[in-house]
Amino acid sequence: MEMITEGTDQYAQDSYAKLFEQILLEMGITNVLEKVRILIRADDPLFVVSVKMRKAAGAKPIYDVAQLDDKEGGVMVSITDEGYAPRLLALLWKTFGRDRVEQLTRFEIYIAGATRMDLWEMRISPEEELKAQVLDAIWKLVPEGLKIRHTFSSPDVMTIANTEHGFQPNWLADAEKLHHEMEAD
Amino acid sequence: MYQVLMFDGGVYKINEFYELIEDIGGFVIQKTTIQVQILVTFAIPEEDRGIIEKKTRELGGKLIDVPLAGSEIVVVGPTLGRHHMPHPICDIAESLRRYGAITVVMGLARGRGKQTAQISAEEKAIIEEYDAAVFVVGNFRSCVEKYKYKLWEDIQIPVVATCGPEIEHLPACEAQVCGIGRKVERMRRPEEIQKLEEVSSKVIQIVLARRRDVDSDPLFVHPAEIKDRLDGLEAIQGSLRPAPVVLHVDGVRAKVPYDKYKDAIAALEIYGRRLGEIADITPSRMEGSVLIKIKSRSQVEEEDAAKAKGSK
């Protein structure tokens, strides 16, 4: 992971780079990010974090995390890897609608009007969850007092600009420029 | 003068140790038993240290100097949010406890931010109940230099300020330690432990200076003597709090409701006088506690003289 910091306060740049590394390490998501840029202008105050995600590898087929059994009128999904349960349920809701998906117990889901072959090709992508974890890491990093925020988002780059009272137009322009530079990298 | 020490040893014949402390006119402040190990914090007359050292050797224990024993220190952070807690605030508090202090950790309601950072009168009053305060602020030089010092500038007790960047002089504090700032993990590296030691040593200097100030016009009684009397109160004996009576440099905090027990506390007898005569007893801002500030000998004599004059 490449980490670049810029700004007006050298101590803050060094310490926040180290803090972010420690936060990512603690959350076990160091290898999720390809590049990080942090812009700190404490006098304004402006704090911009921009992260470029690596392409998420390893979308799991549904049969790797659950057992599929055809039943009368539907299919029974028995979850074998609980870590994937929330994402699996969300995927089933999205595909079949909430009316047809019934969660019987913590590990058992029944889908009415479907067969195991309908589910066979489905894959669970870790991307959304990783994005949520990266966002959580960013919220942990951003100084608590900088409550006014603006975000720029594209498929693999997230940029969050933070200030205390309100953005000056050129601050947001600087943050947007940084976002586009990260996209172009 | 009394000296506060800590005994670290086994429970074998520990009663003989307690009796000796009592015989030489000392007081047990706190006992912590961990299986067969026991830690006893106690106050004894300075000149009798030799007797206690001899007994400690006999019992196979060791005697530890705890320069902050008998003091209560507050460690203050900008908020209680995850950006500031538990590190480094709790690490600093733990380091102070190793030197015998009772510590309290406090987060301000609106201490975060730069221009928006503020401290309320209520928060100041709470902080001023303690013997010294450690303020822990962050990593932005301009923020610390121009704004954050305002959090402690009106505090009437000694303040140690800690921050991240190396700043030559922080205003309105008795001591400063730079190079700490925000942390997201425990301070356990050698250079970080060194910083914790630095904070503790600054606090020790401050507390010792306060003790010297108090000694220049000595208190009517040592706070440990008041603790000894308070320990006899039923409310204190029945208290479930880990330290129902906490010593301060110039008084005591008793963790019982003021309204219910103020009269019983004021009526306690010490050297033939009511506690209410030789100390100011007030409710603490921390609910359910009483603050007892001991008057100096000269103050008590002055008040006695004024009373005698008034009665003539």
C-alpha to C-alpha distance for B271 and B50, rounded to whole angstroms: 27
Length of chain B: 312
Mean pLDDT of the region B188-209: 96
Shared domain check, A135 and A47: yes
Position A105 pLDDT exceeds 70: yes
Binning chain A into helix, strand and coil, the percentages to the nearest 5 are 40, 35, 25
Given A15, A40, A45, which is nearest B182 (Cβ)?
A15
- ∠ CA B121-B299-B133, rounded to 5°: 30
C-alpha to C-alpha distance for B24 and B21, rounded to whole angstroms: 6
For this complex, say whether ipTM is above 0.85: no
Q: What is the pLDDT of residue B53?
A: 95
Shared domain check, A90 and A67: yes
Shared domain check, A83 and A44: no
Shared domain check, A135 and A114: no
Chain B residues touching residue A16 (CB < 8 angstroms): 139
Element (H, E) at B197: helix B190-216
- For A126, the token pair is 């870790």
Q: Using an 8 Å Cβ cutoff, are B28 and B68 in contact?
A: no
| Distance between start and end Cα atoms, chain B | 36
Q: Using an 8 Å Cβ cutoff, are B245 and B275 in contact?
A: no
Shared domain check, A149 and A135: yes
- ∠ CA A66-A70-A71, rounded to 5°: 120
C-alpha to C-alpha distance for B188 and B18, rounded to whole angstroms: 36
SS3 letters across A3-32: EEEEECCHHHHHHHHHHHHHHHHHHCCHHH
Interface of A with B in 109-148 (CB under 8 A): 140, 143-147
Contact state of B185 with A22 under an 8 Å Cβ cutoff? yes
Q: Using an 8 Å Cβ cutoff, are A146 and A110 in contact?
A: no
A81-90: pLDDT as tens digits: 888 888 889 8
Shared domain check, A113 and A72: yes
Element (H, E) at B194: helix B190-216
- Is the backbone peptide bond immediately before A45 cis, with ω within 30 degrees of 0? yes
B252-305: pLDDT as tens digits: 999 999 999 999 999 999 989 999 999 999 999 988 899 999 999 999 999 999
Please give, rounded to a whole number of angstroms, the shortest distance from the CA of A164 to a CA of chain B: 7
More confident residue, B109 or B30: B109
Domain span at A108 = 60-124
Shared domain check, A116 and A65: yes
Q: Residue B294: name the closest of B258, B247, B252 by CA.
A: B252
Q: What is the pTM of this model?
A: 0.85
Given B79, B113, B141, which is nearest A164 (Cβ)?
B113
Please give, rounded to a whole number of angstroms, the shortest distance from the CA of A105 to a CA of chain B: 34
Using CB atoms within 10 A of its CB, is residue A108 exposed (0-12), middle (13-18) or buried (19+)?
middle
C-alpha to C-alpha distance for B111 and B207, rounded to whole angstroms: 26
Shared domain check, A103 and A133: no
pLDDT band at A48 (very low <50, low <70, confident <90, very high): very high
CA distances from B31 to A27, B11, B12, B40, B42 (A): 40, 11, 14, 5, 9
Chain B residues touching residue A140 (CB < 8 angstroms): 82-83, 184
DSSP structure class, residue A157: E
- Residue in the structure block whose two tokens are 């951003």: A142
A115-173: pLDDT as tens digits: 999 998 888 877 777 888 999 999 999 999 999 999 999 988 999 999 999 999 899 99
Shared domain check, A9 and A30: yes
Q: What is the pLDDT of residue A57?
A: 65
Q: Using an 8 Å Cβ cutoff, are B196 and B97 in contact?
A: no
Contact state of B84 with A9 under an 8 Å Cβ cutoff? no
Given B79, B139, B140, which is nearest A144 (Cβ)?
B79
Shared domain check, A100 and A11: no
C-alpha to C-alpha distance for B75 and B95, rounded to whole angstroms: 11
Contact state of B139 with A144 under an 8 Å Cβ cutoff? no
C-alpha to C-alpha distance for B179 and B182, rounded to whole angstroms: 10
Q: Using an 8 Å Cβ cutoff, are A57 and A92 in contact?
A: no
Chosen domain end from A104, A124, A144: A124
Mean pLDDT of the region B64-72: 92
Element (H, E) at A149: strand A148-154
The amino acid at residue B139 is: N
Chosen domain end from A97, A124, A151: A124
B80-95: pLDDT as tens digits: 988 888 899 999 999 9
Chain A residues touching residue B115 (CB < 8 angstroms): 164-165
User: CATH no. for residue A164?
Assistant: 3.30.160
Q: What is the pLDDT of residue A2?
A: 92
Shared domain check, A117 and A133: no
Q: What's the total number of domains in chain A?
A: 2
C-alpha to C-alpha distance for B14 and B20, rounded to whole angstroms: 10
The amino acid at residue B71 is: S
Shared domain check, A99 and A140: no
C-alpha to C-alpha distance for A169 and A163, rounded to whole angstroms: 12
Q: What is the pLDDT of residue B194?
A: 97
Interface of A with B in 29-48 (CB under 8 A): 40, 42-43, 45
